[in-house]
Structure 1
Amino acid sequence: MSASDGTGRREPPTTAGERDTLAGFLDWQRDTLAMKCAGLDAERLRRKEIPPSDLSLLGLVRHMAEVERGWFRHVVCGEESGSHWPRVNGGMADFLVADADAEEAFAVWRAECENSRAIVASRDLDERVHRRDETYTVRWIVTHMIEEYARHNGHADLLRERIDGVTGE
């Protein structure tokens, strides 16, 4: 892995093979979400700053913990474990953060990221896995996770700017 870019994010390698490049970009996106949340207390992490959206930084962290768990544990490994934050009235509880414990959410997210790293490191990128009636490769899942983080990091950037004016890539 390359050195940090000064923000705490690990720069993706520029001359590595496919696996290390994909893993590097995924870690950079994970680090970006952590960076967008850095220095904020639980109250500010819970803020829903862009009405009518229910998005908050803490909700994004909880959501990404569930997304990591869903794609890597459930789809790649075939585990049948439940959600960290089960649905409420049919809706995703990840984003229901009024009383959410920020430290718990970050601990769960970091643990899921570590587990996902281990899964990716142990699998062939061409391995085929199944979800519902679809077939995916591990490569597709890693690439999808980069896209998922990139989209939500855009949300995180807007939220952080509204919370305290902090901006940046």
Structure 2
Amino acid sequence: MTRIDPPTVAAERELLQGFLDFHRQTLLLKVADLSAEQLARRSVEPSSMSLLGLVRHLTEVEQYWFKTCLAGEVVPDRYWTAEHPDGDFDLVDPAQAENDLQTYADAVQESDEIAVHYALDHPFRRPRREEEYSLRYLYIHMVEEYARHNGHADLLRERIDGRTGE
């Protein structure tokens, strides 16, 4: 897995996409070279968070913001249920790790394919919310979401095998 630094001088959209891609690649670095059991390990008790749970959570985040909110598509909940509102974390199954990683990769690709069709100032609404958002806001929010969860991933990975990194 190679991580590409975001550009330091570029147009706004290229900068936003570059930072989002950098953080997506950081997540993939944190989960690289681990067994399915290691990916599903909850290594910071009492939290149910695991690296695989983070991948599943960020899959849902990608689909919610880009497909549901920006594109207005109806996307069935993948991991969340009324009975298990934290199913992305609570219901991880090592047997599904490869599938979950592929689902994540597909969600990222779909997000990028959707975003390219909209201007940064394109307005949209979230379901059951009144305020308007823009694609620019969405990019910034996604960078923040990944940055926060990559911090979690750092700690989880270090507890699993001692590997640290930026």
Per the shorter chain, which TM-score range? over 0.9
1:77 — aligned with what? Answer: 71
Shift of 1:41: 0.6
2:131 aligned with 1:134: yes
List runs of 5+ in structure 1 lacking aligned partners. Answer: 1-6
2:4 — aligned with what? Answer: 10
List runs of 5+ in structure 2 lacking aligned partners. Answer: none
1:150 — aligned with what? Answer: 147
Shift of 1:122: 1.5
C-alpha contact (below 8 Å) 2:36/2:94 kept by paired residues: no
Q: Distance in 1 between matches of 2:136 and 2:15?
A: 11
The share of aligned pairs that are identical, in percent, is: 48
Q: 1:121 aligns with which of 108, 116, 140?
A: 116
Q: CA offsets per residue over residues 100-120 of structure 1, 9 Å max, x none?
A: 511111111001101111122
- What amino acid is aligned across from residue 29 of structure 1 in structure 2? H
2:17 aligned with 1:23: yes
2:162 — aligned with what? Answer: 165
C-alpha contact (below 8 Å) 2:37/2:94 kept by paired residues: no
Q: 1:38 aligns with which of 29, 32, 51?
A: 32
- What amino acid is aligned across from residue 13 of structure 1 in structure 2? P
The aligned runs of 1:48-59 (5 Å cut-off) are 48-59=42-53
Aligned pair count? 163
Shift of 1:92: 2.1
Shift of 1:98: 3.6
* SS class of match (2:45): coil
Q: Distance in 2 between matches of 1:8 and 1:99?
A: 25
Q: Distance in 1 between matches of 2:142 and 2:43?
A: 25
- What amino acid is aligned across from residue 110 of structure 1 in structure 2? A
Q: Distance in 2 between matches of 1:114 and 1:85?
A: 19
Q: CA offsets per residue over residues 66-124 of structure 1, 9 Å max, x none?
A: 00000000000011121222325142211121455111111110011011111222110
- What amino acid is aligned across from residue 139 of structure 1 in structure 2? R
- What amino acid is aligned across from residue 156 of structure 1 in structure 2? A
Of the structure 1 ranges 117-126 and 88-97, higher mean CA displacement relative to structure 2 is found in 88-97
2:93 aligned with 1:103: no
Q: CA offsets per residue over residues 19-60 of structure 1, 9 Å max, x none?
A: 000000000000000000000010000000001110000000
Q: 2:59 aligns with which of 62, 65, 89?
A: 65
